[in-house]
Amino acid sequence: MKCKLFAALAAIGLMQLPLPQAAAQGTDAYPARPVRWIVPFPPGASNDITARLFAQKMSEGLGQQFVIDNRSGAGGSIGAQIAADAAPDGYTLLHANPGPSVNNVVMRSKSPYRIEDFAPVFFIGYSPLIIVASPKFGPNNGRELLAYAKANPGKLTWASSGNGSSLHIGQALFAAATGVNVVHVPYKGTAPALTDVIGGRIDVVYTTVVSGEAHIKAGRIKVLAVAAPARQAVLPNVATLAEEGIQNAEATVWFGVQVPAKTPRAVVNRLNAEMNRVLQMSDVQARLDQLGLVKAGGTPEDFGKFINGEAAKLRMLIKTKRVDMMD
């Protein structure tokens, strides 16, 4: 079953997001007025911080204001719907992340918008997830966690920040990759989930380095493994799941930019070029490092292929009943 599961993921390249149509008009006049940058989450969190960082640099570089518009609610779907309904003229951007751009669509049979309603512009980067537990929890690394789960089928409790969240999908990927059965315990946010892990009421939870940093430094939680292709500089002694013999279980929280489908390709190319330029700025890279983000960059096609891959993985998890639909 596992072979079939992950072999199917190799076909993700066959699926393509609609890239923007070529435009007869040039880009010399773009942008000619302020650009709205919809962040489908409240101010202050990583989504908002990364968007504001890029918006400031884009405003300086292109001579027009890129204005952040926080439209939170429904796990990001409210802001995403507003962006999907906007005119495809380059004056509305969506700050993309797994929830509104993939999970809320794939996991709902009646989503008000589709993945194809957006065109990819730029892949900012991703924050690797880490598995953490109370210091009193027995296993100390990924290999020991897997052994514990196999020895106690259906007993390992694994928290998340909510159904359909990146933390939930990460847990499901681990279970699918290893064949173990765990008990998913959804919370309303990462903070309460971490609180119960610290208190020993829940065994483990995925989190980002930034979200867990204070607890890690204080010794309230320990890090069992990193769900990323490589070890993290801030956690040099913590092995990746792959190093522990657990393959195909990488899990991240990612950030990027999308626009309404049919936005002129020339406009998208200009946005992509400017965002790639911003990503190379030393102060921007330093801030992203502080946020624990691995920088990506690249072309719209690169980001589109990545999104398609994320959607394919989630559809496979639904098909194999590792996650349930949300409606």
Show the domains of the chain with their CATH numbers: 2-127+253-319 (3.40.190.150), 129-227 (3.40.190.10)
Query: Whole-model pTM?
Result: 0.84
pLDDT of residue 233: 84
pLDDT one digit per residue (tens) for the chain, 327 residues: 444 444 444 444 444 555 554 443 456 689 999 999 999 998 887 889 999 999 999 999 999 999 999 998 888 999 999 999 999 999 999 999 999 999 999 999 989 999 999 999 999 999 999 999 999 999 999 999 999 999 999 999 999 988 888 999 999 999 999 999 999 999 988 889 999 999 999 999 999 888 898 999 999 999 999 999 899 888 999 999 999 999 999 999 999 999 999 999 999 999 999 999 999 999 999 999 888 899 999 999 999 999 999 999 999 999 998 999 987
> In the prediction, which pLDDT does 2 show?
46
Structure token digits, residue 246:
């657990």
d(CA 314, CA 267): 31
Q: What is the pLDDT of residue 234?
A: 85
Confidence (pLDDT) at 16: 52
Residue 8's region, left for phi above 0, alpha for psi from -120 to 50, else beta, is alpha
pLDDT of amino acid 290? 86
> Counting runs of H as helices and runs of E as strands, what totals does the chain give?
12, 10
Residue 128's nearest CA partner among 4, 250, 267 is 250
Query: What 3-state class would DSSP assign to 87?
Result: coil
pLDDT on residue 27: 60
The whole-number pLDDT of residue 7 equals 47
Helix (H) or strand (E) holding 145: helix 142-151
Say what the pLDDT of residue 310 is.
95
Q: How many residues does the chain have?
A: 327
pLDDT computed for residue 24 by the predictor: 39
Residue type, 6: F
- Residue 17's pLDDT is 56
Q: How many other C-beta atoms lie within 10 A of the C-beta of residue 64?
A: 15
